A and B are shown apart, each in its own frame.
Chain A
Amino acid sequence: MKTMQTQEEYYSGVRMLRYDLLKELVLAVAGVGIVVLGLSAFLSSPDVAPVTIATWAQNDPVDFETTATNELAGSTTSAAYGNPYNTNGPGQSWGPLAPQKWFGTRIPIDSANEFVIQPLQRAASSNTALSAQLDVWQKASSDQQGKWTAAYSAALATATVKDGQVTVADGDYGPLPVMMSNLLGLAQAGGLDGLLQVNGRFYQTDYTPSLVFMGDGGYLPGLAHQANLTGSQWGMMNETGSYPGQTWLWLYTMWYQVPPFNSSTGFLGINSGNADLGIIILMTLLTAALALVPFIPILRDIPRWIPIHRLIWRAYYSPKVRP
């Protein structure tokens, strides 16, 4: 590696003019500060209140019970997710590349137990009717449980709501109606937020169970869809309200909107099922390419071909003749 040229050698023969860098910095800080203070004073910032399990259960009890039933059936996103939460699903992979599996079940989530059975067991300590129904559920075969959840979730599709309570048509649902109405009541009172967040501890800062449970439902994602925040709506770039979002993520979110990443058939093994993995790989490569632009032919030559630099350095390319 050749010795670095000194600045004296590099700039030899170049006319140097006075330029006050620190004054420029102070002016920059002041100028940017005025803009920041002005924008803050006139436009404020977004702060939409978070959804709680309580508001979910109050505002969309049918969706709540459907989600809880699906947790028991093992058909929710989290129940069949795979690592790092459980081993009930294969996760995303591309050919032999399956990094989702590499590190095992480091954040264990047993959806049916954590979100439905255990909270009900706590509630059942003072409720013998619920306790009896839970017993019926635990003692039933998984085949029988599957029949009940299938029947109940089908019935929920035409359920009615009155005073926050869900009513379904008559049918054979086993212990589910009692279990679900108790879980709904617990949720509407805020108890499920407490149980899932605190999880037997006192201090905690990890909201994984509550967020995973809410993500399994339709209510919170539905609100997100209304706010254009979902992946298929360029959501990564967007913000609530009329505020600018994360415009710098435009290229990352763009790929989710185009084939093969948004198509079920896909291309070369990449499709909507493993789009997350495919796009992460693609964006890693593109970021590496950006970092290595100085070494990549054509990419590093484009600036020479496009005369923007002739505007920036017009003092150099067409200097005014000095008297």
Chain B
Amino acid sequence: MNSPATYLHWGFILISIPNLLVIGGMVVLFGIALVAPFPHGDKDDDGHN
């Protein structure tokens, strides 16, 4: 991990691969959170749905 990171150069953008992975990972995580089914207790105290 101590060797220098690889950098992506695209126009005026210069970003390290680790940083790109973090940001890309965040977008993916947000997308998953949007669509993944959420486990839900669907009974309230009275046993109604």
A43 touches B12 (CB 8 A): no
Q: Which of A218-245 contact B (CB under 8 A)?
A: 226-228, 233-234, 237-245
Contacts of A240 in B (CB 8 A): 2
Say whether B28 faces chain A, with CB atoms less than 8 Å apart: no
Q: Contact check: which of A15, A18, A234, A242 meets B18 at CB < 8 Å? A: A242
B18 touches A244 (CB 8 A): yes
**A interface, how many residues as a size bin?**
20 to 34
Say whether A312 faces chain B, with CB atoms less than 8 Å apart: yes
The smallest C-beta distance from B35 to any residue of chain A, in angstroms, reads 7
A238 touches B19 (CB 8 A): yes
B12 touches A243 (CB 8 A): no
CA–CA, A181 and B38, complex, Å: 71
Q: Which of A15, A233, A242 has the most CB of B within 10 A?
A: A242
**Chain B residues within CB distance 8 Å of chain A:** 1-5, 7, 12-19, 21-23, 34-35, 40-45, 49
Pick 16 A–B contacts, CB within 8 A, sort by A: A17-B42, A17-B43, A18-B41, A18-B43, A18-B44, A18-B45, A44-B1, A228-B4, A234-B14, A239-B18, A241-B1, A241-B2, A241-B5, A242-B5, A242-B17, A242-B18
Q: Kindly list the 10 A-B residue pairs having the minimum CB-CB distance in the complex, ordered from nearest.
A: A244-B18, A241-B2, A18-B41, A242-B5, A311-B34, A244-B22, A242-B1, A234-B14, A257-B12, A322-B49
